[in-house]
Amino acid sequence: MKLKLTIAYDGAPYAGWQAQKTGLGVQQRVEEAVAKIFPGAGRLRSSSRTDTGVHALGMVAQVEIPDADLKMPPARAALAINAHLPRDIRVMAAARCRAGFDARFDAKRKQYRYFIWMGAAMNPLLRHQAWHVTRALDLGAMRAAARHFLGRHDFKSLAGTRNYEMSSTVRTLARCDLKRQGPLLTFVMEGDGFLYKMCRGIVGTLAQVGQGKIASGDITAILARKDRRAAGMTAPAHGLVLWKVYY
């Protein structure tokens, strides 16, 4: 039987989602907990790979479990797995899925959110979930710049460098919104996929637009350069959350 797990976690203590030889990944902790309940379970296959320090509210992963091991309704499996997880990781839901379901390749789009706290003093309750920016930001200029990211583009200028060449750096961004609630600024980015550090590159660039360091009309030229040095800074990891994966 294949189970679809929706997982939330505080990424601060972890070296990203993926299990790895150096550093502790969230995947490793979840696989260890699953194995205690279902000894014959396979490895998790996830929808995304969040980076070091990035959080998730809606990471989706699949796991195959022998029918003989599953002696409880799938919905109760979440409670059983959570009993063996640290408090900063939780399976929010577990459900049976079709045999051919693939958490990564069946995903239609993903939504990330990034949080900036704009107060003079940082909200201590958000110190691990939001980037503290003390300089005034021109939200009108940032919203005008954000519109240039919408649609299908080559986002190489906004992505972090890898030690290998990507087959394609073209992605389609359907949403790039900025919402303000008091000193809390929320970026909502939704697309068919995201490159390594792409969300953080977009937010860092928009923040520098808001500070007057980059003109809002320069985004088109930045995208056309296909060079990471053409865009703005990479925003810190701790403000980013994988919010939801759509199927």
Together in a domain, 79 and 126:
no
**Same domain (yes/no): 79, 157:** no
Mean pLDDT of the chain: 95
pLDDT for res 47: 96
Which of 96, 126, 161 is the C-terminal boundary of a domain?
A: 96
51 is an active site residue: yes
Contacts of 22 (CB under 8 A, 6+ apart): 15
Model confidence pLDDT, tens digit, residues 175-230: 999 999 999 999 999 999 999 999 999 999 999 999 999 999 999 999 999 999 99
Instruction: Say what the pTM is.
Output: 0.94
CA-to-CA distance for 237 and 56, rounded, in angstroms?
A: 12
**Of 96, 127, 149, which one is at a domain's C-terminal end?**
96
CATH code, domain carrying 221? 3.30.70.660
What's the structural domain count of the chain? 2
Question: Do 89 and 209 reside in the same domain of the chain?
Answer: no
pLDDT band at 165 (very low <50, low <70, confident <90, very high): confident
User: Could you report the per-residue pLDDT of 100-143, keeping only the tens digit for each?
Assistant: 999 999 999 999 999 999 999 999 999 999 999 999 999 999 99
- For the domain that residue 34 is a member of, what is the CATH number? 3.30.70.580
Question: Within this chain, do residues 6 and 84 fall inside the same structural domain, yes or no?
Answer: yes
Section 83-88 average pLDDT = 98
Residue 241 lies in a domain: yes
pLDDT digit string, tens, across residues 118-128: 999 999 999 99
**Does 84 lie in the same domain as 120?**
no
Statement to judge: residues 154 and 86 lie in one domain: no
The residue to which tokens 């303000």 are assigned:
180
What is the band of 145 on the pLDDT scale with cuts at 50, 70, 90? very high
Q: Is residue 60 part of a domain?
A: yes
Give the domain extent around 75: 2-96
Is residue 164 classed exposed, middle or buried when 0-12, 13-18 and 19+ CB atoms within 10 A define those classes?
A: exposed
Which tokens in the block code for residue 229? 């040095």
Judge if 35 and 125 occupy the same domain. Answer: no
| Catalytic residue (one of 10, 51, 69, 177) | 51
Contact between 61 and 46 (Cβ < 8 Å): yes
On whether residue 103 sits in a domain, the answer given is: no
